[in-house]
Structure 1
Amino acid sequence: MIYAILNGNQGLITTLISSSLIAALLFFFLGRRLRKPGMSYALAGISLAVEMTATLYPISPNAPASATCFIERNIITGTFTTQGLLNVLLFVPLAASATWLTRRPVPAALACVALSAATEVAQALTPGMGRSCDSTDLWTNSVGTLIGTLAGTAALRWNASRRRSAATFLISERQIRRSLIGFSAGMTAIGLTAAFTVTFVMTEVAWANAASPEQQKAAKAAVSEFLGKQVHLTQVQFFPGQVKGSGSISANTDHGVLDLSWPSLEVSSGLLQPTSPLVGPDTPRLSDSDATEIASAFARDHFPWALAGHTTVSAAGPHDASRLVSWRSRKNGVLMPMRMDVLVGPDRKVISFTARHVPDPTLPSVHIDHRQAQALVEHKYPGNVVISAELLARTDDNNRWRPYWMLSFGPPGATSGSSQDGVVQDGIPAAATTAPTISVITVDAVTGAIRPASPDALDHD
């Protein structure tokens, strides 16, 4: 998080410098008042100011509290990334200063770990922070604490030997016991607070997926185009694809999220509003014509290729107050792979979009019609009936484009939502059917071969 925030955030850098200067002066005079080395206290003040500013500086004043904590499955890998090393470095001077000034390594180290844990929870619960807590941050901060404590202890030993006096730091059984009791009490309070206020999410996404400088630059350019130059990037991650060198970039900001394909750099989807507009039974409905006009203007600015497709409008969102404007292309009755969907809210603003720019592929001739595909499915699954069907182009296991029938089926009387692209939907593009009794299957429109298919396979063709 620190690397992404420092990258081009002039406000944070200015605050970091000013808070460090103020803290240095205050701690210097505090040390002099206590008849202690003023410079040592000033360095401790700077270390504390840097930690507090870097972790608690509000990067998204309009964002609600995330109330989310990500538990990384692989925290070791994240330690050796740029982000991880910065987190380690952040706590080294703080722990070293605390050890040097208190001359008590154990309570100094435990206090730094507790501070890191409290900071992570505060990031998740404070509105306007634009952050969420992360187990990798706590781990790397703890590693930095250990290094700093060892460095501070070594400095105390060296100072004692230089003065030819006994070591002046204290490590005793009583001190360790009291420190552990205080640490346990503090961590319990932090844990209970998080347990009742924060949602914990297990994730495979670690800082090992941090984007390269070139990918960071591409994400920044896309964010500037879609969300404006005033929007700040908070995190950019790269997700490798099945083909070496390909994948997707996820750009998180304080006002929304964008996804880009790599290395083509085409923007494939976006969430342009961090919070959904308030909608009630009395909220005026957006007309289809107004939604089409707004969505078309958006597509004209960013995805002009989509306007050549056929336009449809459907109600979406709570109370059907929003409108989903979609563009599709057909060739010889086959739905082509291009996709464009724009969700417009009742406030006349674009909420989200998905886009896939794929030129119309050359397909083999269709030999299986609708009735034949339906008969094949109902014969293979006795007692079920086909609910909806769509003839579309998608890739086979050898990455070749072919025409396929995608059919949803279930027992007689099964209810479903509307169908879009051959998949039962609930008004907006989704990757799941609305009833658990409804299944999806594909039939090769050339050979009649049947194979199970999950709806989200459409997103990977």
Structure 2
Amino acid sequence: MIEASIKAVPGLIVTFLILAALVAVPTALIAKARNKPWRLRTALTAYLVGIVTVTLLPGDAGLESGQCDTGMPAHLFTSTSSLLNIALFAPGAFLTVLQFKRPATVAVAFGCLSGAVELIQSFVNLGRSCSVTDLAANTTGAALGSLAGALWLHQRRQSLRKPVRDLLWGTSLALVGTVALGGVFHSRVDSVDIVAIDDQRKNFAESAIQADEWINTAAKGIYGSDTQVRETTTEKRGKRLKITAETNRGSIAGWWPEKDLESAWSSNTRGDEGSFSKKQVATAADKFARMWFPRNVAGSKQQIRSVGDGPTHAYVVAYRRYTDGVLLPMRLDLTVTTTGRVIGFTARAVDDPALPSVTVDEAKARDLAEQATGLPTDSTLLLAQQIKGEWRPVWLVGSGKRDVAIDAATGELIPGSD
């Protein structure tokens, strides 16, 4: 990328002056000795040296060897980098057309030169990045420079040199260059879409900010308006973000962008010495659940059980949803004290899956489990499980120290369960 060279301007200028002196001076001397116009030849030679210097001067960035950025940004021809690349190649093509009077061949030749430069950048560890965007900008600059050169000659009534042959040469060179460079790039260079990667990073950063704001609001809603968030951590899981916040009142975690709370636990998990009855605790839990988990509560059954002993005992209030006797994957468990304070919860928000009809009843499931293990059964549970990516009704049958899983729609033993 040309920007990498601009950052190293002092070294670039020194390198260019040395190389230009080594190449341009002999060019001028030879032209004079042969009684040929030397100014244009010398300027063209110096400019070609400049292109090589700018594009191949070692830098301090770049992709790994054998990689090329194939991302095409929306601002391809308006970004600073692209405009600089266009400006780099246009004058060289312009001068070359003035010298050889073959605009089509010159435009294609400079395009091939750009392709060769990008290929070198991809293979040689120069601290430079091969980029399709640079190739497109360089080729555009070459085309504009060649067009400008042709117009310049036309205005001065100077004829192009064999225009038909020039067009044929340009077309042939374009085909050969495209096949040759394209073949090498395709077979030896790995594509890396930096634009997509940058967009993903930008989207992740924006989503992380929004998720942080949401979890902060949720923390204050759960623990109180004076809650202070001390730290948040964000972890990318596929297309979702799991965000966890640590506060002066406790922890809280959830999923973005669904805005699904997953868990929260107060730093004070000791039960309160309250006077709420079991029914009052259930009412307090239901109010909390309907406020924060309306999707989980809808159509669910509430179950409540006591945990702990003495005056500080608490209750676990569970919400489960069933369809045709099958326990669905949604989960919500609240731990509530006898003052009605929710000291923690765990939740799993999953849309109710479509399940095939259950054809295996409990008695049949027990028989199948006993046949598979040779042991008597002691418990059963019918629930929805994902089997190879598909939701199925499954009997979990306890048989001794093992659980046997049986497809409740087909009666087949699920591999790995016995």
Alignment TM-score, normalising by the size of structure 1: 0.46
Residue type of the alignment partner of 1:178:
W
| 1:152 alignment partner, one of 149, 152, 155 | 149
Rate the CA distance shift 1:376–1:9 in 2: closer, same or farther, 3 A.
Answer: farther
Rate the CA distance shift 1:107–1:437 in 2: closer, same or farther, 3 A.
Answer: same
User: What residue number does 1:46 align with?
Assistant: 46
How far off its partner does 1:124 sit? 1.9
User: What residue number does 2:70 align with?
Assistant: 70
How far off its partner does 1:81 sit? 2.3
Aligned partners of 1:389 and 1:408 also within 8 Å:
no
How far off its partner does 1:123 sit? 1.8
Rate the CA distance shift 1:175–1:63 in 2: closer, same or farther, 3 A.
Answer: closer
Aligned counterparts of 1:25 and 1:105: Cα–Cα separation in 2: 26
- The secondary structure found in structure 1 opposite 2:93 is helix
How far off its partner does 1:112 sit? 0.6
1:335 and 2:326 are equivalent in the alignment: no
Rate the CA distance shift 1:36–1:129 in 2: closer, same or farther, 3 A.
Answer: farther
Rate the CA distance shift 1:309–1:183 in 2: closer, same or farther, 3 A.
Answer: closer
How far off its partner does 1:154 sit? 3.1
Aligned partners of 1:106 and 1:171 also within 8 Å:
no
Residue type of the alignment partner of 2:152:
A
Aligned partners of 1:56 and 1:129 also within 8 Å:
no
User: What residue number does 2:175 align with?
Assistant: 184
Aligned counterparts of 2:333 and 2:118: Cα–Cα separation in 1: 49
User: What residue number does 2:121 align with?
Assistant: 123
Aligned partners of 1:65 and 1:125 also within 8 Å:
yes
Residue type of the alignment partner of 2:119:
V
1:374-407, CA deviations, whole angstroms, 9 ceiling, x for partnerless residues? 954765895665899999xxxxxxxxxxx98564
Q: Report 1:98-117 matches (<5 A).
A: 98-117=96-115
1:15 and 2:6 are equivalent in the alignment: no
Aligned partners of 2:56 and 2:128 also within 8 Å:
no
1:143-201, CA deviations, whole angstroms, 9 ceiling, x for partnerless residues? 21122112222333345x4xxxxx34214323322332233112211000000122335
How far off its partner does 1:141 sit? 1.4
Aligned counterparts of 1:81 and 1:62: Cα–Cα separation in 2: 19
- The secondary structure found in structure 2 opposite 1:329 is strand
User: What residue number does 1:358 align with?
Assistant: none
Aligned counterparts of 1:388 and 1:126: Cα–Cα separation in 2: 57
Aligned counterparts of 2:189 and 2:90: Cα–Cα separation in 1: 28
User: What residue number does 1:264 align with?
Assistant: none
| 1:79 alignment partner, one of 77, 80, 90 | 77
Aligned counterparts of 1:99 and 1:195: Cα–Cα separation in 2: 31
Rate the CA distance shift 1:180–1:384 in 2: closer, same or farther, 3 A.
Answer: same
- Structure 2 unaligned blocks of 5 or more: 210-228, 234-243, 255-284, 294-302, 305-315, 336-343, 352-386, 392-418
User: What residue number does 1:215 align with?
Assistant: none
Residue type of the alignment partner of 1:139:
A
Aligned partners of 2:67 and 2:192 also within 8 Å:
no
Aligned counterparts of 2:24 and 2:200: Cα–Cα separation in 1: 39
Aligned partners of 2:56 and 2:126 also within 8 Å:
no
Aligned counterparts of 2:59 and 2:334: Cα–Cα separation in 1: 46
How far off its partner does 1:48 sit? 0.8
Aligned partners of 1:66 and 1:132 also within 8 Å:
no
Q: Report 1:241-280 matches (<5 A).
A: none
Aligned counterparts of 2:130 and 2:320: Cα–Cα separation in 1: 47
User: What residue number does 2:276 align with?
Assistant: none
Residue type of the alignment partner of 2:164:
E
Residue type of the alignment partner of 2:167:
I
Q: Report 1:300-449 matches (<5 A).
A: 329-335=246-252, 367-368=288-289, 376=319, 379=322, 405=346, 407=348, 437=389
User: What residue number does 2:25 align with?
Assistant: 25
Aligned partners of 2:85 and 2:141 also within 8 Å:
yes
Q: Report 1:109-258 matches (<5 A).
A: 109-134=107-132, 136-159=133-156, 161=157, 167-201=158-192
1:28-55, CA deviations, whole angstroms, 9 ceiling, x for partnerless residues? 2343355422221111112111211211
Aligned counterparts of 2:194 and 2:179: Cα–Cα separation in 1: 24
Aligned partners of 1:59 and 1:130 also within 8 Å:
yes
Aligned partners of 1:63 and 1:128 also within 8 Å:
no
- The secondary structure found in structure 2 opposite 1:335 is strand
Aligned counterparts of 1:406 and 1:12: Cα–Cα separation in 2: 60
Q: How many residues align?
A: 270
Rate the CA distance shift 1:98–1:407 in 2: closer, same or farther, 3 A.
Answer: same
Aligned counterparts of 1:310 and 1:84: Cα–Cα separation in 2: 39
- The secondary structure found in structure 1 opposite 2:71 is strand
How far off its partner does 1:121 sit? 2.4
How far off its partner does 1:72 sit? 0.8
Aligned counterparts of 1:62 and 1:71: Cα–Cα separation in 2: 15
Aligned counterparts of 1:4 and 1:436: Cα–Cα separation in 2: 49
Residue type of the alignment partner of 1:143:
T
Aligned partners of 1:87 and 1:141 also within 8 Å:
yes
Aligned counterparts of 2:95 and 2:187: Cα–Cα separation in 1: 34
Aligned counterparts of 1:203 and 1:390: Cα–Cα separation in 2: 45
- The secondary structure found in structure 1 opposite 2:76 is helix
Of stretches 38-47 and 5-14 in structure 1, the one that deviates more from structure 2 is 5-14
When the two chains are superposed, the root-mean-square deviation of aligned CA atoms in Å is 5.1
Larger radius of gyration: 2
Residue type of the alignment partner of 1:181:
S
Aligned partners of 1:121 and 1:133 also within 8 Å:
no
Aligned partners of 1:2 and 1:83 also within 8 Å:
yes
- Structure 1 unaligned blocks of 5 or more: 162-166, 210-236, 249-259, 262-305, 312-326, 338-364, 392-402, 411-434, 440-461
